[in-house]
Each structure stands twice: as structure tokens, then as C-alpha cells.
Amino acid sequence: MAKYDIVIVGGGPAGLSAAYTAARNNASTIVLEKDDSIAQNIRTSGVSWIDDMKRLKIPEKCYNPIKNFRIISPSKDIILKGRTPKSCVLDVRSTYQYLATLAASEGAEISVRSEVQSVVSQSNKITGIMANTPKGKTEFESKLVIDASGFSSIVARKGGYAKNWTRYGIGVEYECYCDEIDPETWILMVGDKFSEAGYAWVFPISKQRVRIGTGIGRPESISDPIKKLNSIMESRITPLDELGNIQPIEFHYGFIPNEGSRQSTIFDGLLLVGDSAGQANPLVLEGIRFAIEFGRIAGDIGAKSLSKGCTRESLEKYEKFWKERVSSKIKSSLKVQSRWLKMNNETWDREVEIIQKMSVEDFVDFIKAQFTTSRLMKLALTHPHAAAKQLFGMILDK
């Protein structure tokens, strides 16, 4: 048996960030990662936002800045040009490994190839984890378990605290070498050529490297996202016809919850963070910034709860913090996402017309789910499209 103050399941951005702050608070901490290495399997396209990366002190070498936003629908092709970069595409592998380095430098242990087999509990409180590790089957006894296992929510499910997600997105992409890339522009493609319930993308991560992918929403569509992506790649429909030689180097496949956050993310001896908690922006299905920020809060509050027995009450500050930050924004963006998942080619063209009239700043705030009441009221009052007024009004109607 191995004894720790805090056992963290999942070596993604949430788990590694929690390990960093927990260890910094002198809690004995271990991260159990089921893959053979940190970021061995990339399950995300890596879109995020420069102001968040700077606030979270992620090095500039870990991301490619994005200034322009191109959107292609069945009969529209628009571009919003910015003066300065607002978005970015992360080098996901280097970002995660940087976060692992931070955690290790504070004294956290990281155990790769360590997969949870069962949850140990006593008197309705989780007290540890049984896992297969390179050293054999091991019981990890702990005062607190942090479930940062991502979409699978493996600890919460095995412990009976959460059910499987019923609404989710499946994202597939090739990371490719390309001859002709505009490294400052990312592209979204919508309509049934690209996805029956979702969107496709071209996200540049350097001057000659790009991620080309598509996402499918379940249960809205039962289509195979891999077949859809291969069809897009083989037919080289616009904008792929502009990229010159395209050669896949990596294949990425992953799931992301798409129904909002968990109602509760704290229990006696257990805390959920990141995708396990449903802390994701439904509009472009990105959540790395939330995972890092709330992971750090989880580790900090988790460590400070040790002296209080890691009860649900001692963890309440964590849930209050993250819900005040993003819960209402996630709920608002779910309204827009629900609208998008029902759109056909004609209605997508009209939606792109609405976006075309936005400034880059308004578009970034919109797609980032920064739904401030004052900004939405301004857009609803000033946008020339009646459909736009209905859209912004729908978000305001909480």
C-alpha cells in the first residue's frame, strides 16, 4: 500500500495543475496517468485564448497566435481580420509536459501507465484507489482523490457519484504537414459537407503544420466522424484545396462532454475537475483554460482541506469559485450550441451573415462564451440583422 495526502487520477491539464498547487501546499501528491507518457495521446485540437494563456503563465513557445477568423458555410466564405492576435492554437504535447514539469518541480510524483481498477471507500467516503501500475497492482490510500480523468470521469463513475455523459462531442483530426498555410488564421467550416451536427476546422500550429478535423455531436448525429473527415481530406473541398501538399503526421481522437457541468463536483473525499466536471465551453468544445485554472484552485483548496478531513463542506469553496466564474456562461452557450446543432445549410448561411457583421472583438467574446449582459444588449440593439437580435436576446433570456 502507498499512502498519500492527495491522489489525482489523470495527467491532463486539470490533474497536473492540481498536482502543482497541492504539492506547493506541502501535500504529498501523486498523479496516476493511464497512458505510457504525459500527452502521449492528444485528444484535443488545442484552441484557446491568448489573454488566458498569459494570465495562467503558459510560455509563448507553447502556442501559435491567431489574428484572423475565417468561416465557411455552404454558400458563404467570410473572414474577420484582427489587428492583434486574440486566439491561439496550443502545442498540446509541449503544454501538458510543461505543466508536468511544474508539478514535479514542486515535489508531486507522477506515475505513468497507471490505470484505475477500482475505488476504495469506507462509510460513504472515498479513501483511495486501486490501480495497475508498472510496479504491479497497488492500493493508493489517500485523504482526498481528485478525479481529473477527463470525459470518462472514471473515479466518480466507479464510486457511484456520476453517470455516463449522454450528450457529447466526438472530435477527430489529422495533424498534417502542409505547404501553404496562413499561420495567423484559423478556419471553421459548417454545413452538412463538414458535419451533420457540429463543425470542421483548420487550426494552424506553425508555418507548415496544421490540424484538420471534424466534430460530431451525439445523440444529434450517428454519422462516423472518421469517415466524414476522410471524405473531407480526400475530396479536398475548400479550404483544403488551398493548402498544397497535405501529409498527415498524427491522428487524434477524443470525446468531450456537451451537456453542461455536473450538478455537484464535490463529495466527501472526492473532487471533480476539468472535463470530468463538465467544465468546457460548448461553443467550440474547448476547456484547457478552465482545466488549468480550476485545477490549480482544486489543488490549493484540496490541500487546505486536509486538516478538516476533506469533507464536502471543506471543499465547498472550490465549487463556489468555479461556478461563479463560468456556470452561467456555460448555460448561455448551451443555448447557442443547441441552436447550432439543429441548423441546416440554409440557416447556417444566415448565421454566418450575422457573424460577418461582428467586430473581431465581439466575435471572440461570443465564441469564447464571454456573455456579459452589457455586451449582449449592445449587440442586440445595434446589429442590423433581425435574426441576430433574436440570437442575442435568446442568450440574455436566462
DSSP states of 130-152 as a string? EEEETTEEEEEEEEEEEE--GGG
What pLDDT score does 395 carry? 56
Locate 324 and state its grid cell: 461563479
Between residues 285 and 40, which one has the greater pLDDT? 40
Share of the chain above pLDDT 70, in %: 93
The model's pLDDT over 329-343, given as tens digits with 9 standing for 90+, comes to 888 888 888 878 888
Average pLDDT, the chain: 91
Residues 164, 264, 172, 84, Cα dihedral to 10°: 170
Residue 229 has pLDDT above 80, yes or no: yes
Residue intervals of the chain classified under CATH 3.30.9 are 47-90+170-257
Integer Cα distance of 61 and 90 in angstroms: 9
Locate 173 and state its grid cell: 483530426
Q: How many other C-beta atoms lie within 10 A of the C-beta of residue 248?
A: 12
What pLDDT score does 392 carry? 55
Confidence of residue 163 (pLDDT cuts 50, 70, 90): very high
Residue 326 CA, chain-centre distance (Å), reads: 13
Q: Amino acid identity of 163? A: K
The model's pLDDT over 188-224, given as tens digits with 9 standing for 90+, comes to 999 999 998 889 999 999 999 999 999 999 999 999 9
pTM of the model: 0.93
What residues pair up with 48 in beta bridges, in sequence order?
A: 88
Integer Cα distance of 228 and 65 in angstroms: 28
Topology of 2-40+93-166+262-327 in CATH? FAD/NAD(P)-binding domain (3.50.50)
What pLDDT score does 369 carry? 74
CATH dotted code for 47-90+170-257: 3.30.9
For residues 258 and 169, the answer to whether their CB atoms sit within 8 Å is yes
What pLDDT score does 342 carry? 83
Q: What is the CA radius of gyration of the chain?
A: 21
Between residues 369 and 358, which one has the greater pLDDT? 358
Q: Amino acid identity of 77? A: D
Residue 45 has pLDDT above 80, yes or no: yes
Confidence of residue 385 (pLDDT cuts 50, 70, 90): low
What pLDDT score does 9 carry? 98
Confidence of residue 89 (pLDDT cuts 50, 70, 90): very high
Confidence of residue 134 (pLDDT cuts 50, 70, 90): very high
E-strand ranges in the chain read 2-9, 29-32, 47-49, 63-66, 68-72, 77-81, 87-90, 109-111, 115-122, 125-133, 136-147, 168-178, 185-189, 198-206, 209-218, 246-257, 266-267, 270-272
What pLDDT score does 379 carry? 61
The model's pLDDT over 238-247, given as tens digits with 9 standing for 90+, comes to 999 999 999 9
DSSP 260-286: ---S--EETTEEE-GGGGT--BTTTTB
| Maximum Cα interatomic distance, the chain, rounded to a whole number of Å | 66
